[in-house]
Amino acid sequence: MLKDVTLFYSQFRDSFTTTGAIAPSSPLLGKAITHPLSQRPSRPVRVLEVGAGTGAFTRQILKHLRAGDQLDIYELNSRFCDYLRAHPPWQECALKGIFCRLHNADVRGVSTESRYDYIVCGLPFNNFEPEVVSEILSVLIERLSPEGVFSYFEYIFSHEFKSRFLKPSDRQRMIRVGAIVRAFIRKHQFGYRQVWLNLPPAKARYCRKAAQT
């Protein structure tokens, strides 16, 4: 759809820090990031999507949902929320008995009571302050159920590429973000998939609560 690409590009220019990408993710990245959900159990599951943008991952998530499942979507940007309400990928959910809610809010506000079997995250961590990355990763791993899977992606080479061309203060920020993300990966990651057909190419990472948490 041309509309979602145009909106995405306008938000890339107007809200660069939170949008963090020039175009919506490709269906192949959507498939890779929702791969754990394709192996879901037959019981009803709860899914949290973080940073839906124009719904590239939402459409892939919905392919795996069935009656009794629940999908909570957190999207900070009201322009993206307006777009999703106007073109809801979850249009047929009510008929199928799937409960979907869109929250126009920061994911750090997700209820402390909620636990999710799958968390699919599209946030551009490399654009954020280290404290924000740390806080969001803690919130998400905390909200994951004991057997749950948290998937997120990062652009291949983006960290190395960006840190070369940034001003020193931004380079320091990226180095600190890189350290936080690497420590998180060491503790929680159990797999990943590379997706070359995406702009830019990306790596979908799969994480779970560490044994000691």
Ligand X SMILES: C[S@@+](CC[C@H](N)C(=O)[O-])C[C@H]1O[C@@H](n2cnc3c(N)ncnc32)[C@H](O)[C@@H]1O
Applying CB under 6 A, the residues found at the interface with ligand X are 18-21, 24-25, 50-53, 56-57, 74-77, 80, 106-107, 122-124
Smallest gap from Cβ 144 to ligand X, in A, equals 16
> Any bridge partners for residue 48, and if so which?
72, 119
Annotate 44-62 with b (16+ C-beta within 10 A) or e (fewer): bbbbbbbbbbbbbbbebbb
Q: 3-state class of 171 per DSSP?
A: helix
Smallest gap from Cβ 75 to ligand X, in A, equals 5
Smallest gap from Cβ 74 to ligand X, in A, equals 5
Q: How far apart are CA 153 and CA 192, in angstroms?
A: 9
Question: Residue 76: CB partners within 8 Å, gap ≥ 6?
Answer: 18, 51, 104, 105, 106, 107
Is residue 137 within 8 A of residue 175, CB to CB? The reply is no
In eight-state DSSP terms, residue 67 is T
Residue nearest to ligand X (CB): 51
Nearer to ligand X among residue 28 and residue 44 (C-beta):
28
Smallest gap from Cβ 213 to ligand X, in A, equals 22
**Residue in the structure block whose two tokens are 């960006």:** 162
Question: Residue 25: CB partners within 8 Å, gap ≥ 6?
Answer: 33, 53, 56, 57, 122, 153, 198, 202
Smallest gap from Cβ 107 to ligand X, in A, equals 4
